[in-house]
Amino acid sequence: MGAIAPTFTNKEDMFRKLALITLLSFTLSGCGMIGFTDANHSNHGMMDVKDSDFSGKDIMFAQMMIPHHQQAVDMGTLAETRALDSEVLAIALAIKAEQAPEIALMKSWLVKAGQPEDSMHQMDMGMLNQSEYKALEDSSGKEFDILYLQGMIKHHEGAIDMAETVENSSNTEVRNLAKSIIASQTDQIETLKQLLTKFG
């Protein structure tokens, strides 16, 4: 296999963060209101969350992080039957085990706040696109291991960017989860990068 492509440049990191900040600022300006659409894209207007324990930014974080985490869980499931390297399999399973209960936690926040899981405000934030996920799904052995490591590094970088937007949330649950994601996934990125050198 050829040389392993780099994940992100500093310029790409900066662009991604600016895009997220701009989206959050645009959507959440004003009275802590958020807009959403259903699957048919009909407009439900603005839903006020000011009486909730969760701010509009907290809600958007959960709505964006749930599918982000779900993809990481799905990638871990793929690793169970496709990974060759035992260390790659181990970290994939660890990530899956860590993020599955976090999904349940964030879903409970949305229920408490009376907010939908789906939001019109979605960004990929490091997620694998359809073709990248298909390539991972269709691979096995060493090829899978490399694609998984490359993809999860990018994936984690996006999650950290999102978590940083709410790490100072006034809601203790949100703040604690954000800080946990930043700490855990920062450490995991270093492990993922070290594992990737095995295939250089």
pLDDT in tens, 132-146: 999 999 999 999 999
pLDDT at 146: 98
Single-letter residue type at 152: M
Question: Which among 111, 194, 123, 113 is positioned nearest to 152, based on CA atoms?
Answer: 194
Q: What average pLDDT does the segment 171-187 reach?
A: 98
Does pLDDT of 113 surpass 70? yes
Cα(first)–Cα(last) distance of the chain, in Å?
9
Task: Give the tens place of pLDDT for each residue, 155-164.
Answer: 999 999 999 9
Per-residue model confidence (pLDDT) at position 16:
55
pLDDT digits (tens, 9 = 90+) for 180-197: 999 999 999 999 999 999
Domains of the chain and any CATH numbers: 10-199 (1.20.1260.10)
Structure tokens at 76: 């871990």
**Quick one: pLDDT at residue 118?**
85
Interacting residues of 199 by C-beta distance below 8 A, sequence separation 6+: 1, 4, 142, 145, 146, 149
CA-derived radius of gyration, the chain? 17
Q: Report pLDDT for 5.
A: 43
Query: pTM to 2 decimals?
Result: 0.78
pLDDT mean across residues, the chain: 82
pLDDT given at position 126: 93
